[in-house]
A and B are shown apart, each in its own frame.
Chain A
C-alpha cells in the first residue's frame, strides 16, 4: 500500500480537520495531493475543473471528495458532479465522499444519480476521526500492504515473511524468532483482518487451513500459544489469554495490538 496516492478535493483544504486527515494519511505511508484552485474565488466550477485536471495528471489510487464545494447554492452538490465524472471515466478509482451529508436524502440522491451499482464509492462523515477515514480507505483501495503495522510495537513483513517487535516505542524493530511457515501465515491472516477492520473475528475455518493433523483445532490452539509466547518474549511481557490473540466464544480469534 505504500506509495499509494490519495487525492483530496475539499474547499476547506486549509482547515485543521482536513490537515489532520492528511497527516494521518501520510503516517499511513500514502502520498497526498490536494486540489487547490488558482482563483481566489472558491466556487464549485473552479474546483470541478481543477479536480478533473489533477485526476488526469496525477492518476491517484484513491480520492477523498467533499460534496459541498463552495457556499453558493449551485455548489451544494458540486462534488457529486465530480463523482459522476470519475465513475464514468475511471470506474475502478475508489472514491470516499468526505461530507457532512453522509446520511439521509442527499446520500440517497447521490446513490441513485451518480453511481453504478458496483462503483467503489463510499461515504464518511466530516466529523469522522482520521483513523476512521484511513480504515475506510484501506478497505476501499483493497490491496493488502506488504508491511502491516500492528499497533506501535509489532510489524508484519508479508514479503519477507517475518514478524518484528520493538519492546519500547522508540527502540529498533527486531525479528521475532520462531514465527515462520504456518505460524507466520496464521499471524499474517490475523494481522490482515485487524488492518482492514479492528475487532473483526477471523473464524477457525480460515485459520485451520494452516494446521495439520486430524485435530486441526487443537493444533491451531497450540500454534497460537506458541506465537504468543514468542512475541511476548520479544516484547519482554507475559501475554495472557486476553492479550494479543483472543479466542471469541469458540468461533475464532481476533487480534488486539499489545498495550505497553
Chain B
C-alpha cells in the first residue's frame, strides 16, 4: 500500500514563513560594509600609486618592460579595488532589497493574521450563538422529559446525547483553528507563566468524562507526586496538547483512558494512553503530519480533520519539548496506544 507523504506540505507553511529561510544571516550586512570599505581603500591606494609612479617610480625601482613597477602595482590595486568595491556594493543592494522584501512580507503577514483573527472571532461568535441556542434547547427538552413521569424512549435519549456529544468536538475544532492561526503568525514568541498542570488535566477530564461515560468508557488520571506543583509554560499550549490527545484516545479507546502526570529534575511528562485497537506500525511515522488520518491512507472518507495530533506535536516542539507515541496493534492481546508529552521544567524564553 502506498501511504501519501504529507511532510512537504507540513514544512512549507505560508509564504512568509517559507521566505524567512532565504533571509541572509545577521553578519552578512556588516561584512558587506567592511568589504566595501576595503574596496575603497584599495581603489584609493591604486590611484595614489598611479599618480606617484611618474615622480617616484624610477627612484624606487628599476624599470620593468620600459615602465616603472609602481605603475603596475597602482593599476593592479585600482582594478582590485574596483572589483571588491563593486561586488560589495551589489551585495549591499541585494541585502537591502531582501530586507525590504522581508519587511513587506511581515507587514502582509501581520495584516493577514489580524484579518484572520478578526474573521475567526466574528465567525466564532456568530456560529457560537446558534449553537448555544441548539444546545440550550436540547438541555431544556431533556429537562422537560425528566419532569414527566413517562420513561424517555431510548431513541430520543440517543438523539439528545448525540447533540451533547458533538459539543466537545466543536469546542476543540474552534480552538484548533485559533491555534493554527497563531502558529502561522510570524515571530510569535512563546509566552511562559506559572501553570499548574494537574489543574489543566483536571479540566480536560471534566470536559471528557461525560462524553466517555456516554460511550461506556472511563477516564482515570493521576499525578506523581500527588501535589504536582507549578511549572513554567503556557497553560493554553498544555491544554491544547492534552485536549487533542484525550479527544483522540477517547474516540479510539476500548473502554479505558488513563492520563498520568510525572516529573523529574529537568522535565515534566504527561502520558495519555488507551486500551483501543492500537495503530499499525506502518502508520506511526505519519501520525503527526498535518491532515493525516488513517482514512486518508486507506482512501476512505475522513472522520476527523487530522489536525489535532499535528497541533499537539507542533506545540510540544515549540515549547522545547516533544510528543512521541508507542502503540501495539490488535490482534496482539496487549493492544494499546500511549502518547507521551515531554516538556521542560525550565524552558528557554
Q: Which residues of chain B (138-158) have a CB below 8 Å from chain A?
A: 139-140, 143
Interface range, B side: 35 or more
- Checking A17, A198, A252 against B222 with a beta-carbon cut-off of 8 angstroms, the contacting residue is A252
Do A16 and B194 contact each other (CB < 8 Å), given the known contacts A104-B178, A205-B226?
no
Let me know if A17 and B139 touch, CB within 8 A. yes
Q: Does A218 contact B (CB under 8 A)?
A: no
Let me know if B167 and A127 touch, CB within 8 A. yes
Return A95 CB to nearest CB of chain B, in Å.
16
- Checking A104, A136, A197 against B236 with a beta-carbon cut-off of 8 angstroms, the contacting residue is A104
Across the interface, which residues of A come within 8 angstroms of B209, CB to CB? Answer: 198-199
Let me know if A199 and B221 touch, CB within 8 A. yes
Let me know if B140 and A19 touch, CB within 8 A. yes
Let me know if B171 and A248 touch, CB within 8 A. no
Q: Which residues of chain B (170-212) have a CB below 8 Å from chain A?
A: 170-171, 175, 178, 182, 191, 193-194, 202-203, 205-207, 209-210
Q: Does B346 contact A (CB under 8 A)?
A: no
Let me know if B136 and A206 touch, CB within 8 A. no
Across the interface, which residues of B come within 8 angstroms of A249, CB to CB? Answer: 258
Let me know if B175 and A16 touch, CB within 8 A. no
Q: Which residues of chain B (237-286) have a CB below 8 Å from chain A?
A: 239, 258
Do A129 and B222 contact each other (CB < 8 Å), given the known contacts A15-B132, A16-B137, A197-B202?
no
Let me know if A251 and B222 touch, CB within 8 A. yes
Return A66 CB to nearest CB of chain B, in Å.
12
Let me know if B236 and A201 touch, CB within 8 A. no
Across the interface, which residues of B come within 8 angstroms of A59, CB to CB? Answer: none
Please measure, in the bound complex, the distance between the C-alpha atom of A201 and the C-alpha atom of B225, giving whole angstroms: 12
Which secondary structure dominates chain B's binding surface?
A: helix
Across the interface, which residues of A come within 8 angstroms of B167, CB to CB? Answer: 127, 129
Let me know if B239 and A17 touch, CB within 8 A. no
Let me know if B226 and A100 touch, CB within 8 A. no
Let me know if B132 and A103 touch, CB within 8 A. no
**B residues neighboring A (CB under 8 Å):** 117, 124-125, 128, 131-133, 135-137, 139-140, 143, 164, 167, 170-171, 175, 178, 182, 191, 193-194, 202-203, 205-207, 209-210, 218-222, 224, 226, 236, 239, 258
Other CB < 8 Å A-B pairs besides A126-B132, A201-B222, A248-B222, 9 of them?
Answer: A17-B132, A19-B140, A108-B236, A136-B203, A197-B202, A197-B205, A199-B219, A203-B222, A246-B220
What are the 8 A-B residue pairs with the smallest beta carbon separation, nearest first? Answer: A16-B136, A17-B136, A20-B139, A201-B222, A199-B219, A135-B206, A17-B132, A16-B140
